[in-house]
């Protein structure tokens, strides 16, 4: 019974998750999650299983018997022994059916297959930043990268490339006119394909920061708990640290969730301003808890203070942050926000994206802005299943992306086929960094005209290969004796 109820809850709550995501979530600690997710778990599979188990126990332990009258005689036709036999048969059938159901729904055969096969695709196409000539501008640019939780182009009106009757993000689409937004469509908003190992927040960051999918070995422990997170990979944080950048990472949640503490410590030695850190700094009360920790209203206010501090260090800076209010289920709506759309999640999306634009408008008024690149990316497709229940399955969903104030022009921004890992070299290029061959990690610099792996090989081929086990990936990036220190003698300056 638990297999049935838990599987139904998992599909209802998380939607179609990939084998890699299933394993990462299974192995990660649950600290840092929104209490709403835990509430739905207790309201769903825990409660349902308890009720069904109680009813089944009553049936098994019942003292009543089914008898048949034959004149003055009574004949027992369903007594204790038949009831116990039937109970065992039912229990076995439910167990077997539940396991088969769970295996099918969560693609557990694919999970097994992913870790017993071996593909050389990543090894054949990975371009190490240690081996590529990188030319930095003499005056290094600041970088602000905001991961917008679950923000995708689906929320736009249909004429803009979305699926809504009304554009839920008018401020954001207006802001997009000031920068470059890469799209798969010829003339409307769009974005990257969602590839294997990129479909949840931590994986999205690994793709965009390291140019790799997030894959972990079958026999791994809760990933990141050891203090190591893909130690053999080199990310944007590693490269900018070597260039003397002051770096800060900000979350409204606990960064221990999904191993993010280890990730950003290993790859750039970032200053942390997560839920724990702001409590320790006295910015919120010790017992404060809203949504995942503290809400985005506070995140942006704290970010303003941190940006002012960073701008006074005398170093180029890198502020990396992720919003959380638009996380499923239904999002978190700040008190006092008007009901514009008659739907909780739509109201959250509308308010949250407008809030992002207000924050960016503030940045644009600061003295440091002329030498600062701003990158906005949705992290992954929303997992709020109710909101997307009526969206046509044939509609192509894509995360939102926008790059502002970059000192480089895109050769072709529309009609591109690309993946989240293509943002890795693209973000560096948006800082004015020239990249030999326009490729880093598995990614391609989208500002260039070079073909991406998805354009060259097709989505199905890329996903098939990424879904396979990669001994190269495990040996080169996961092995804990590896070191992510970035040393590249080919780095030069204009």
pLDDT digits (tens, 9 = 90+) for 163-196: 999 999 999 999 999 999 999 999 999 999 999 9
Residue 271: which residues within 8 A CB-CB, separation 6 or more? 246, 247, 248, 249
Q: Give the residues across from 74 on adjacent strands.
A: 69
Residue with tokens 């053999």: 232
Separation of first and last alpha carbons in the chain: 65
Q: How far is CA 39 from CA 10, 35, 45, 46, 276, in A?
A: 13, 6, 11, 10, 22
Give CA–CA dist 160/180, Å, rounded.
Answer: 15
**CA-based torsion, 92, 94, 100, 106: positive or negative:** negative
Tokens in use for 296?
Answer: 């985005």
Tokens in use for 39?
Answer: 């509430």
Residue 399 pLDDT exceeds 80: yes
Who has greater pLDDT, 265 or 223? 265
Q: What is the pLDDT, as a whole number, of residue 220?
A: 39
| Weakest mean pLDDT among 11-20, 254-263, 446-455 | 11-20
Residue 40: which residues within 8 A CB-CB, separation 6 or more? 9, 13, 329
| Weakest mean pLDDT among 107-111, 141-145, 285-289 | 107-111
| Weakest mean pLDDT among 57-66, 195-204, 353-362, 442-451 | 57-66
Q: What is the pLDDT, as a whole number, of residue 466?
A: 94
Tokens in use for 425?
Answer: 């070299």
Give CA–CA dist 316/311, Å, rounded.
Answer: 8
Who has greater pLDDT, 15 or 346? 346
Who has greater pLDDT, 337 or 228? 337
Residue 280 pLDDT exceeds 80: yes
Q: What are phi and psi of 386, to 5 degrees?
A: -60, -40
Q: Give the residues across from 443 on adjacent strands.
A: 440
Helices (H) and strands (E) in the chain, counts: 18, 14
- In terms of average pLDDT, the best of 53-62, 357-366, 466-475 is 357-366
Strand bridging mode 372-378 / 401-404? antiparallel
**CA-based torsion, 323, 329, 332, 337: positive or negative:** positive
Cβ pair 216, 210 in contact under 8 A: no
Q: What are phi and psi of 75, to 5 degrees?
A: -115, 125
Q: What is the pLDDT, as a whole number, of residue 490?
A: 84
Q: What is the pLDDT, as a whole number, of residue 358?
A: 98
Give CA–CA dist 425/236, Å, rounded.
Answer: 9
- DSSP structure class, residue 474: I
Rounded to the nearest integer, the mean pLDDT of the chain is 85
Residue 401 pLDDT exceeds 60: yes
How do residues 298-322 score in pLDDT, each as one tens digit? 999 999 999 999 999 999 999 999 9
Tokens in use for 204?
Answer: 């999205």
How do residues 40-83 score in pLDDT, each as one tens digit? 555 555 556 666 566 556 555 655 554 455 555 545 444 566 65
Cβ pair 212, 442 in contact under 8 A: yes
Verdict on whether the full-model pTM lies above 0.75: yes
Tokens in use for 466?
Answer: 């990424």
Q: Give the residues across from 76 on adjacent strands.
A: 67
């Amino acid at each position: 019974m638990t297999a049935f109820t838990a599987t139904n809850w998992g599909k209802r709550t998380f939607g179609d998750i990939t084998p890699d995501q299933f394993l990462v979530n299974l192995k990660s600690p649950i600290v840092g999650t929104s209490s709403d997710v835990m509430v739905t778990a207790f309201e769903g599979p825990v409660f349902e299983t308890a009720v069904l188990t109680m009813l089944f126990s009553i049936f098994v332990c019942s003292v009543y018997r089914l008898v048949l009258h034959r004149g003055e005689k009574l004949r027992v036709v369903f007594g204790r022994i038949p009831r116990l036999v039937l109970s065992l048969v039912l229990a076995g059938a439910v167990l077997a059916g539940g396991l088969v159901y769970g295996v099918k729904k969560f693609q557990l055969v694919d999970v097994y297959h992913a870790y017993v096969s071996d593909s050389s695709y990543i090894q054949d196409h990975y371009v190490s930043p240690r081996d590529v000539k990188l030319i930095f501008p003499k005056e290094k640019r600041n970088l602000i990268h905001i991961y917008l939780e679950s923000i995708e182009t689906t929320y736009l009106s249909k004429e803009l490339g979305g699926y809504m009757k009304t554009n839920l993000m008018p401020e954001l689409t207006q802001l997009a006119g000031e920068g470059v937004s890469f799209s798969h469509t010829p003339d409307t908003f769009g974005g990257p394909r969602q590839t294997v190992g990129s479909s949840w927040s931590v994986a999205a960051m690994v793709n965009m920061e390291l140019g790799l999918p997030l894959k972990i070995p079958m026999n791994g422990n809760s990933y990141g708990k050891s203090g190591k997170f893909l130690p053999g990979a080199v990310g944007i944080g590693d490269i900018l640290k070597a260039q003397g950048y002051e770096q800060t990472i900000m979350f409204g949640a606990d960064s221990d969730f999904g191993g993010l503490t280890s990730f950003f410590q290993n790859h750039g030695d970032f200053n942390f301003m997560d839920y724990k850190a702001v409590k320790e700094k006295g910015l919120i009360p010790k017992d404060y808890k809203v949504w995942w920790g503290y809400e985005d209203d506070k995140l942006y206010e704290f970010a303003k203070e941190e940006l002012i501090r960073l701008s006074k260090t005398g170093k180029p800076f890198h502020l990396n942050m992720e919003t959380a209010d638009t996380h499923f289920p239904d999002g978190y709506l700040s008190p006092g926000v008007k009901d514009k759309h008659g739907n909780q999640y739509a109201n959250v999306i509308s308010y949250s994206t407008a809030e992002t634009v207000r924050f960016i408008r503030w940045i644009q008024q600061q003295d440091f802005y002329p030498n600062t690149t701003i990158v906005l990316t949705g992290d992954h497709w929303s997992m709020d299943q109710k909101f997307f229940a009526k969206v046509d399955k044939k509609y192509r969903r894509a995360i939102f992306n926008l790059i502002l104030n970059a000192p480089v022009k895109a050769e072709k921004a529309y009609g591109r086929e690309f993946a989240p890992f293509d943002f890795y070299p693209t973000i560096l290029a948006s800082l004015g960094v020239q990249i030999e061959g326009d490729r880093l990690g598995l990614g391609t610099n989208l500002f260039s005209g070079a073909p991406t792996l998805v354009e060259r090989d097709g989505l199905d081929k890329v996903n098939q290969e990424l879904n396979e086990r990669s001994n190269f990936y495990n040996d080169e990036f996961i092995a804990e004796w590896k070191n992510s220190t970035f040393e590249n003698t080919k780095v030069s300056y204009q």
